């Protein structure tokens, strides 16, 4: 009789830190070798899902930071071309 599989947490339900830590573990296992082809493929697939989740979490964090740093009247403008990047406020 096979042991029951443990339910893996969805990457979307994990914090960035936990998803990244799991991704690091997967990379170490793959780099160390000694896994069967099936296990290596399963680890690779899980790693891809985790990498995508980490990227999405970082993108969301970056967007929040940009919104916090934008002028109040620029909240509607998500296009970075809308900002005057040539203006140096320190030169005034």
pLDDT interval class at 71 (50, 70, 90): confident
CATH number reported for the structural domain that contains residue 64 in this entry: 1.10.287
Structural domain includes residue 80: no
The reply to whether 20 falls in a domain is yes
Question: What is the number of residues in the chain?
Answer: 92
pLDDT of residue 8: 64
Domain count of the fold of the chain: 1
| CB 12 within 8 Å of CB 40 | no
Please tell me the predicted confidence (pLDDT) of residue 87: 44
Please compute the mean of the pLDDT values over residues 73-85 and round it to a whole number: 53
Give the mean pLDDT of 19-37.
Answer: 96
**What pLDDT is stored for residue 70 in this prediction?**
79
Judge contact between 19 and 57, C-beta under 8 A.
yes
In a domain, 27, yes or no: yes
Asked whether residue 35 is assigned to any structural domain, the reply reads yes
Q: Choose among 19, 17, 46, 18: nearest CA to 30.
A: 46
**Domain coverage including residue 58:** 13-69
């Amino acid at each position: 009789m096979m042991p029951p599989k443990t339910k893996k947490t969805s990457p979307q339900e994990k914090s960035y830190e936990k998803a990244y830590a799991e991704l690091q573990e997967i990379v170490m296992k793959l780099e160390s070798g000694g896994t069967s082809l099936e296990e290596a493929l399963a680890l690779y697939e899980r790693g891809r899902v985790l990498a995508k989740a980490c990227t999405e979490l970082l993108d969301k964090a970056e967007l929040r930071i940009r919104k916090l740093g934008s002028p109040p009247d620029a909240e509607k403008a998500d296009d970075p071309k809308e900002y005057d990047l040539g203006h140096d406020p320190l030169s005034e």
